[in-house]
Amino acid sequence: MHNEEKVLVQSWTEAHLVPLSQSVRNYEQKKELCWLAVRDIKPSFSRKWRRSPPIWPPCGDELWLETRDGVCVGRVDRINNKGGVIEVIDYKSKVLLPHAEMGDDLGTYTPQLKYYAALYHAQYREWPTILKIVANGGQEIEIPFTHDECESLLKEAYTLLAKVNCTIRSASLDKRKALSSLAKPSPKTCSLCLFRPVCAPYWEGRSRAPNEDWPNDLHGTIIETGRWGKDRVYLDIAPYEGDKYVKVKVIEVSSGRHPALKREKKEVYLFSLLQYKDRPDVFAEGKYTTIYVPKH
My answer on whether 27 and 65 are in the same domain is no
Last residue of a domain, one of 155, 183, 198: 155
Last residue of a domain, one of 136, 155, 174: 155
Q: How far apart are CA 26 and CA 288, in angstroms?
A: 17
My answer on whether 66 and 144 are in the same domain is yes
Average pLDDT, the chain: 84
- Count of structural domains within the chain: 3
Q: Residue 54's pLDDT is what?
A: 47
Q: Residue 118's pLDDT is what?
A: 97
What CATH code is carried by the domain that includes residue 229?
Answer: 2.40.50
Confidence check: pLDDT of 212 > 70:
yes
My answer on whether 64 and 27 are in the same domain is no
My answer on whether 222 and 277 are in the same domain is yes
My answer on whether 23 and 106 are in the same domain is no
Q: How far apart are CA 80 and CA 72, in angstroms?
A: 22
My answer on whether 283 and 220 are in the same domain is yes
Q: How far apart are CA 191 and CA 202, in angstroms?
A: 10
Residue of 58 and 276 predicted with greater confidence: 276
Q: Residue 26's pLDDT is what?
A: 75
Confidence check: pLDDT of 192 > 90:
no
126 belongs to a structural domain: yes
173 belongs to a structural domain: no
Instruction: Kindly state the average pLDDT of the residues 230-248.
Output: 87
**Band of the pLDDT at 72, cuts 50, 70, 90?**
very high
My answer on whether 11 and 71 are in the same domain is no
Q: Residue 119's pLDDT is what?
A: 97
What CATH code is carried by the domain that includes residue 135?
Answer: 3.90.320.10
Instruction: Kindly state the average pLDDT of the residues 221-247.
Output: 89
Confidence check: pLDDT of 202 > 50:
yes
My answer on whether 232 and 272 are in the same domain is yes
167 belongs to a structural domain: no
**Band of the pLDDT at 182, cuts 50, 70, 90?**
confident
Task: Provide the residue range defining the domain that includes 73.
Answer: 60-155
Q: Residue 105's pLDDT is what?
A: 57
Instruction: Kindly state the average pLDDT of the residues 5-18.
Output: 84
My answer on whether 17 and 77 are in the same domain is no
Structural contact between residues 284 and 276, judged by C-beta atoms closer than 8 angstroms: yes
